[in-house]
Chains A and B, each alone.
Chain A
Amino acid sequence: MTLPEIIRAPWPWYVGGPLIGLMVPALLWLGNHRFGMSPALRHLCAATVPGNLTFFQYDWKRSGLWNLTLTAGTVLGGFIATRSFAWTDIAISPATQASLATLGVHDFTGLVPREIFSWASLFTLRGIISVVVGGFLVGFGTAWAGGCTSGHGVTGMASLQPASFIAVLGFFAGGLLGTFLVLPLIS
């Protein structure tokens, strides 16, 4: 492969997974911080509309400025990477393509199915449930569980926290429910 091809190619799991894992020691080393992305949502609430809720009564700048800065970087990273990326090269499993075709998803070329995640389909039943209800549950669930895929899934499991194993089992219970019960209902 030539260099431009290597830059444009998608990365296999054994490249990306270990790099994601290195976020944990990198953040500990940089500022003694625990890797997790969902606190950004809490900090944003605390910074904008804390109300009178004790959950949002804390010094968000002191606790969360590093996390919000990290999150801002993540947005830029997504921007940079999609500009150097040939998405059509990603091979989604044929079995998944067949399953999704029965749900009315036929375009497998993007980051997300355009048939669901676009401004045009936002106000369809499937659009509202996928984007608005799904987003709400992500924010609610992660706050209740005290972590998301990074906080519980990576940091918590890597430090063998029983709570995180329970949370990850919950992630999969919910994910299976969404995939096999809700998606067919709204398609």
Chain B
Amino acid sequence: MRRGLLLHFVLGTLFGIVLTKTQVISWFRIQEMFRFQSFHMYGVLGSAVLVAGVTRRLVRHSVSVLCGDLDDGTLGPPPGERTRFWAGGTLFGLGWALTGACPGPLFALVGGGVGVMWVAITAALAGTWAYGYLRPRLPH
């Protein structure tokens, strides 16, 4: 357990280094992407998807790779959901363009010394909490 957590911490550290060195945490790079003015972010995402798609087959695993909620499957999404993906995705994309950071980069940015991003993380927590509150009334 402890050793497993330590390895996850090390992996997270490497992830933060890669996100930063590849400038995925740069607001400017995100702007280039949404303005279709540079290949950089498309190259990052495309090659990440390609490598993940090939290498995940090399590892024996039993976890469902369906994008849902928690990976132990306890609160996974019921089949047939559609609305949540485009509606939630669009709201997320709007936030991504404004902050220039998705959740991973938000955390790398505070480590990188952009202290004001703690406010963005707090706001993101408030957003996740608000979703939890409104969940019974939202279409999925």
Contacts and interface: CB of A to CB of B under 8 A. Distances in A.
B16 A34 contact: no
B26 to A, nearest CB: 5
A163 B104 contact: no
Question: Secondary structure at chain B's binding surface: helix, strand, loop or mixed?
Answer: helix
- In this complex, the interface size class of chain A, counting residues with CB under 8 Å from chain B, is 35 or more
Given A74-B13, A80-B17, A158-B53, A41 B47 contact: no
Question: Secondary structure at chain A's binding surface: helix, strand, loop or mixed?
Answer: helix
Interface string A59-79: 000111110011111111111
Contacts of A129: 98
A144 B69 contact: no
B90 A130 contact: no
Interface residues of B, number: 119
A118 to B, nearest CB: 6
Nearest 7 Cβ contacts at the A-B interface:
A77-B16, A73-B12, A170-B89, A174-B93, A16-B22, A139-B127, A141-B92
Interface of A: 10-42, 44-45, 49, 51, 53-56, 58, 62-66, 69-82, 85, 90, 92-93, 95-96, 99-100, 108, 111-113, 116-119, 122, 129-161, 163-164, 166-179, 182-183
17 contacts: A13-B43, A30-B11, A32-B61, A42-B128, A58-B70, A64-B70, A69-B9, A96-B35, A131-B116, A136-B124, A138-B127, A154-B49, A154-B52, A166-B85, A169-B86, A171-B89, A173-B93
